[in-house]
Amino acid sequence: MLNRVGMTVAAAAVLAGVVVPAGLASETFAAGAKAGVCKSSLEGTYCGYYSGSAYTDRGDAGAKVKEIQALLIQHHGYAVGPKGVDGYFGAGTESAVKRLQRGHGLKADGIVSAKTWDRLRGEPLDR
Rounded to two decimals, what is the model's pTM? 0.74
The secondary element (H helix, E strand) that includes residue 93 is helix 91-103
> Which pLDDT value is given to residue 41?
81
Residues with Cβ < 8 Å from 29, sequence gap 6 or more?
A: 39, 41, 46, 48, 51
User: Is the predicted pLDDT of residue 37 greater than 50, yes or no?
Assistant: yes
Percent of the chain residues topping a pLDDT of 70: 72
Q: If you average pLDDT over residues 53-81, what whole number do you get?
A: 97
Residues 89-109 have pLDDT tens digits of 999 999 999 999 999 999 999
> Across the chain, where does the E strand assignment appear?
39-41, 44-46
d(CA 31, CA 11): 6
Higher pLDDT, 53 or 15: 53
d(CA 90, CA 20): 36
Counting every residue written for the chain, the total comes to: 127
User: Is the predicted pLDDT of residue 4 greater than 60, yes or no?
Assistant: no
